[in-house]
Amino acid sequence: MEAPSYDSIVNRNEITDAAASAFANPEQIPEKYVRTEEVLDGVVVGEDERYELPVVDMARLLDPELSASEIAKLGDACRNWGFFQLTNHGVDEEVVQRMKDNTVQFFSLPLGSKAKVAVRGNGFEGFGHHYSRASSGKLDWAESMILVTQPPQDRNMEMWPTNPPTFRDALEVYSVEMIDLAMRLLGFMAADLGVEQEALLDAFTGKRQSMAIHYYHPCRHREKVMGITPHTDGLGLTLLLHVDDTPGLQIRKDGRWFPVRPLPGAFVVNVADILDVLTNGAYASVEHRVIPDAERGRTTVVIFQEASVGGLVAPLPGLLEEEGTHARYKSIEIEEYIKGNFNALEQGTRFIESLRI
């Protein structure tokens, strides 16, 4: 599939210059990063208010005696929050640690070294400011890199860093582990939805996987900068690994922003827009953002799993078989969906809203 153009991505020299001036002297925030009105848009739930992002335990999902109750918990999380933290996930700890170490080492390199894999032209892979919008001219307070990781024939190896030397191998192994983890989760989601497991798994099998790594520099003027613009994820399923314990992710629910408190060793998993469509709106893809910490940097590794049904982004047929059940979304070819989603992201809108029936 041809990569859609993404005109908001800046060129290599602009990345280096903007980042060097901004992050080296965070007391003097350049105007292109100042987004006070956006940061203050919405009430953030305070630390004194008791709430808990749903936690799903993979060990309980796999336990025949506990699975039914944990599947119900998984389904409730996907319907009402669109997010959950996954514990006891079973991913090889050595694989996870290698990915963490290589990500930290990459972001520790001089900007000139990272710029060797900077975004080129109208592409979207590589190092740069991936979430800025041309319409506002503002940048996120973050360094990011996006790569297509699966299937192997879709990779652009010129954009895969060779420094640190072990980065490519670490990402290769990690990407395969994430496919396995996603498929295990999707099997339990199918059970909750009441569809054939094969139907949901087939929608994700062999489809594109991409990865984003982010480093959010600390900023004492947190009320002025945005780590990542409020958005929903446009693909199927998102798996986020916290490299450290620095908070920053916030989820919008009932009009308020709920900060996520990272659990040690857990993944943060969220429903993305295509899964919202596949489930005919049963699972919710919800808006989220990142606010930098005042004192500590935050590093994350995020995997995005794409999905489609017979080349279409459409509700699963098994969910439409019950009498009186109608599709809530129009069907669209996956290539057209991807292009439409990128264009909507550029304009600060949500593409699947245009698909609602």
**Residue 113, pLDDT above cutoff 80:** yes
Neighbours of 235 (CB within 10 A): 23
* Residues 76-86, mean pLDDT to the nearest whole number: 97
Q: Is the pLDDT of residue 295 over 60?
A: yes
The whole-number average pLDDT for the span 11-26 is 56
- Long-range Cβ pairs for the range 317-320 (8 Å, 24+): 317/199, 318/194, 318/195, 318/196, 318/199, 319/193, 319/195, 319/279, 319/280, 319/282, 320/280
Confidence at residue 348, expressed as pLDDT on a 0 to 100 scale: 76
pLDDT confidence bin for 238, thresholds 50/70/90: very high
What pLDDT does 13 receive? 40
| Average pLDDT of every residue of the chain | 88
- The whole-number pLDDT of residue 38 equals 84
- Residue 209: how many CB atoms within 10 A of its CB? 25
- 272 pLDDT higher than 90: yes
47 by Cβ neighbours in 10 Å (0-12 / 13-18 / 19+) ranks as exposed
Q: What is the pLDDT of residues 145-174, one digit of tens each?
A: 999 999 999 999 999 999 999 999 999 999
The average pLDDT across 71-100 equals 97
Judge residue 265's burial from the number of C-beta atoms within 10 Å of its C-beta, 0-12 exposed, 13-18 middle, 19 or more buried: middle
Q: Give the pLDDT confidence of 129-138 residue by residue, as tens digits.
A: 655 555 467 8
pLDDT at 281: 95
Count the residues in the chain. Answer: 357
Domains of the chain: residue spans and CATH: 33-306+324-352 (2.60.120.330)
* pLDDT of res. 19: 59
- The four Cα atoms 222, 225, 226, 227 give a dihedral, to 10 degrees, of -70
**55-57 and 83-87 beta bridge pairing:** parallel
Model confidence band, residue 25 (pLDDT cutoffs 50, 70, 90): low
Nearest to 149 by CA among 127, 128, 166, 125: 125
Across the range 264-287, mean pLDDT stands at 96
Confidence of residue 31 (pLDDT cuts 50, 70, 90): confident
Query: Which pLDDT score is estimated for 9?
Result: 37
So what's the pLDDT on residue 12? Answer: 40
29 has a pLDDT exceeding 90: no
Reference 204, options 234, 235, 232; nearest CA is 235
- Residue 212: count other Cβ atoms within 10 Å of its Cβ: 18
pLDDT at 112: 87
Q: What is the pLDDT of residue 349?
A: 84
Read off the amino acid at residue 356: R
More confident residue, 3 or 316: 316
Give the residue from 330, 257, 314, 324 showing the smallest Cα distance to 49.
257
